[in-house]
Structure 1
Amino acid sequence: MLKTIAVAATFSAVAGAGFVGHGELTAQTQTETRTQNVVATKTVRHGHLDSFTGTRKIRVNGYSVNVSCSGRTAPREPVVMLMAGAGDGLDTMAGLQSTLSKEDRVCSYDRLGEGQSDQPKGPQTIRDSGKILTGVLDRIAGDRPVVLAAHSLGGLIAGRYAPDHQDRVKGLVLMDATLPALKASILKVIPETATGIAAEVRAQAISVNEGQNPERLVAPDAEVRSAGNIPVQIIKHEAEFGDIPDYGPALEQAWSEGQQQWRALSKRSVLSTAAGSGHYIHVDRPDLAVKAIREVTCQAAAARW
């Protein structure tokens, strides 16, 4: 059953207890997050921007949203926003944030329905989730450029958000992002007549994609749109579906094809495979995640905007 949850998580971004290493990361990063929380919150001004270090709740569109920020504050330089997958709070990004913030300003947040943020009042669309992200970025980045570094469902949201906010999003890193046409990919690979674990994966992935997830987010299939001529790095897992009888190789192929589709975000998109990694790339290969985010951030900083 754990493998079923883990595989469904890969396709639909539901956090699963079956991921190797995820539990260890959570234990470590919860400690780091608690440490950040007790750091005295220091507020400084950059125009109309409130900049702080630590974790605090901010009000966005009538909701309480949990936000964590760390690292140096430098006007006009990119702010990195980390976005976790569904079922995950910002604590799962704490280790990555701690490393990145040694050189850059880095923030993360709990989307509605996740972590310590409020529950949504009803079903959410991608646009609804984007409005919350915009409100958070208004507070923590002001008019500075932003690099979105996102995992799983966070990657789907980031990939849909960037094309509509090209004035703000100047770089993207997608870590095993949920497929842009998830439902079609599942139906193509696993037929309705499937049984056992394959049938469970099919049912779970489709139902979650239709709003049965912690965020109540409905994310229908859609084509990938251009986000402009920005640096984009797409990192996919090496292996995740080998234990699914009859359908493992086809699922891996569908996942690879879906990651290829994300390249349409930019002519500067680069797709790579994280050797030795499962779905949680920032856990299994944090070195690759850090390298990709720093490269994109440097490229975004060097660009004229």
Structure 2
Amino acid sequence: MRGKIKASVVAALCCTMVGAGVAGGGAASAEEWDPFATTTLAEWDPFAPTDRKDPISGTKKIKIAGKSVNVSCSGVPKRGKPVVVLLHGAGDGVDKLAALQKTLSKKNQVCSYDRLGAGASDQPDGLQSFASTGKILTGVLDQVAGDRPVVLAGHSLGGLIAARYAPEHRDRVKGLVLMDATSPTMAGDIMRAIPKSATGPAAELRAQNLAVFQGQNPEKLVVPDGKVRSAGRIPVQVIQHGKQYLAAIPQYGPRLERAWSAGQRKWLAVSSRAKLSTAKKSEHYIYVDQPEVAVKAIQLVASQATRR
């Protein structure tokens, strides 16, 4: 499989490294999610200020809902300016985002974190949902941003998570940058692009991707298809790759490229101020292939969010 199809192609489509098993436990449902359970009772100080006077600097572990979460922050907090929070793709972590974070921190406070099951953070107890991974993101924002506005900049699966999170948290998410974000209908896109009758590497890719979306990935995150919900009029930059590397997949590559491009256009519905651009020299890792494109987009959205 991997000898015939580039690993980057597999990672981009299924949002993670293939071959990971699923731990026991059921997926967390929206009904089970407690949006207020960002800290334990013993850690809660009702008299503490919501806007931290001692912001996190460097890399440290913080406790959220009983789990250890690895967080990295750099740059100086500035009054009125949003905190930029970077969300990595599946199979990655804060280390992958380090160079981007360092560059952005010259003008903004910038933080990133390892989601449960990724990097140096704890493993989830069982299958995760968008609600449960959103709970961890809320806890991170509580500790790194307090009541300051936030701009979320996500790559691949991180972009999908950011775009799903923003509509429910309009009070704090004031801008989005989606860097080749996983399509909101990726599972359906793959099933349409690669038919069930496919054989060989394409059939394996189809089966592995569908398994991954059901939770067979390091984060144990179940990734269902869904409609794009609006986050209002926040500034949004959607950046898609320009080098058609998915064409490496025999026979079905062109279909997958068209499906991916259509998925990027679907994300424009997340805001009435969303704009789509193409990183012409980039494959999936836009912030690695063309870091200046990612930096420019994030700084633009951060400045627009400041003026709101």
Q: Normalising by the residue count of structure 1, what TM-score does the alignment of the two structures yield?
A: 0.88
**Residue in 2 aligned with 1:198?**
202
Paired with 1:144 and 1:182, the residues of 2 have a C-alpha distance of: 33
Q: 1:15 to 1:294 in 2, by over 3 A?
A: farther
- Stretches of structure 2 that go unaligned for 5 or more consecutive residues are 19-47
Paired with 1:170 and 1:190, the residues of 2 have a C-alpha distance of: 37
* Contact map agreement 1:181 1:222 (CA 8 A) in 2: yes
**Residue in 1 aligned with 2:8?**
6
**Residue in 1 aligned with 2:293?**
288
* Contact map agreement 2:202 2:252 (CA 8 A) in 1: yes
Paired with 2:251 and 2:50, the residues of 1 have a C-alpha distance of: 58
**Residue in 1 aligned with 2:71?**
67
Paired with 1:87 and 1:256, the residues of 2 have a C-alpha distance of: 22
* Contact map agreement 1:15 1:85 (CA 8 A) in 2: no
Paired with 1:302 and 1:281, the residues of 2 have a C-alpha distance of: 27
User: What does 1:1-305 correspond to in 2, within 5 Å?
Assistant: 1=2, 3-15=5-17, 48-49=51-52, 50-238=54-242, 239-303=244-308
Question: Percent identity among equivalent residues?
Answer: 58
- Stretches of structure 1 that go unaligned for 5 or more consecutive residues are 17-44
SS at match of 1:11: helix
Paired with 2:173 and 2:13, the residues of 1 have a C-alpha distance of: 25
Give 1:5 shift: 3.1
Give 1:232 shift: 0.3
**Residue in 1 aligned with 2:34?**
none
Give 1:216 shift: 0.2
Give 1:52 shift: 2.2
* Contact map agreement 1:237 1:281 (CA 8 A) in 2: yes
Give 1:46 shift: 6.8
CA RMSD for the aligned pairs? 1.4
Paired with 1:118 and 1:202, the residues of 2 have a C-alpha distance of: 29
Give 1:221 shift: 0.4
Give 1:231 shift: 0.4
Give 1:134 shift: 0.2
Runs of at least 4 residues off by over 2 Å: 2-6, 45-48
Summarize deviations over 1:50-91 as a string: whole Å, max 9, x none: 402100000000000000000011133200000000110110
Paired with 2:155 and 2:204, the residues of 1 have a C-alpha distance of: 23
Greater helix share, structure number: 1
Quick one: which amino acid aligns to residue 298 of structure 1?
S
Paired with 1:175 and 1:46, the residues of 2 have a C-alpha distance of: 34
Quick one: which amino acid aligns to residue 246 of structure 2?
F
